[in-house]
Amino acid sequence: MIRLFVNVDHVATIREARKTIEPSPLKAALLAEKAGAQGITIHLREDRRHIQDDDVRLIREEINTPLNLEMAPTEEMVQLALEIQPYQVSLVPEKRQEITTEGGLDVCSQEGMLSETGKRMHDRGILFSLFIDPDAKQVDASKRVKADSIEINTGRYTELVSIEGIRAELERIQASAGRAAEKGLKVFAGHGLNYENVKDIAAIPEIEELNIGHFIVGQAVYGGMENAVTEMIRSIKAGRGNQS
């Protein structure tokens, strides 16, 4: 079974619209765990548009599953991660003007800095992951900087509409997953996944973990967090060929 890490960022997005205390990302995380999520993901952005520093500390202390902290590879974020010590840090590119993460990290152009960041994480017992596009050069560079895992960006796959385009992007994802696994990297995936398009991603045998947030939070508005997580787990199992 693929692990599902639920990203609760956009619960905080709703809260920050009024700068109040509700809804609570922690409460959403606990409900996701109750429904079967194997981990929680949060992205602390430099502009603090949703998750806040206190959220990171509180969620780290109160959840019962591992915390995956997404962040930009900046010194401010590295220092915070070293202080809080999540289970895993996932480095992502970040632009202030973007609505959501627009692409994978260019590992090839930052190998020295990323190697040093990874070493600092490993020295504190924190796993080190890189969010990359499905590209052989980025996979190879991730191995060179001693990442524990990669998270393959499925954003382009989820945006395509033609059967030919979807098939070609799936082949890129499959090839990158296979290449990474051969090199000893753990393989995760995420971005833009929903109940339907997750199935073909879940069918890729090398993928061990999925990070899904926006769609689950959106569905939770209609039917509750537990129902949304349960339905996503059902879709993941269907994609993996396990209907139990």
Q: What is the pLDDT of residue 191?
A: 96
Mean pLDDT by runs of 10 across the 244 residues of the chain is: 95 96 97 98 93 97 98 94 97 66 85 97 97 97 98 96 97 98 98 97 98 98 98 96 57
Q: What is the pLDDT of residue 243?
A: 43
Q: What is the SS3 string spanning the chain?
A: CCEEEEECHHHHHHHHCCCCCCCCHHHHHHHHHHCCCCEEEEECCCCCCCCCHHHHHHHHHHCCCCEEEEECCCHHHHHHHHHHCCCEEEECCCCCCCCCCCCCCCCHHHHHHHHHHHHHHHHCCCEEEEEECCCHHHHHHHHHCCCCEEEEECHHHHHCCCHHHHHHHHHHHHHHHHHHHHCCCEEEEECCCCCCCHHHHHCCCCEEEEEECHHHHHHHHHHCHHHHHHHHHHHHHHHHCCCC
Q: What is the pTM of this model?
A: 0.94
Q: What is the pLDDT of residue 244?
A: 40
Q: What is the pLDDT of residue 96?
A: 55
Catalytic residue set: 43, 70, 191
Give the CATH number of the domain where residue 196 resides: 3.20.20.70
Q: What is the pLDDT of residue 101?
A: 56
Domain count, the chain: 1
Q: What is the pLDDT of residue 103?
A: 76
Q: What is the pLDDT of residue 228?
A: 98
- For residue 11, what are the domain limits? 3-240
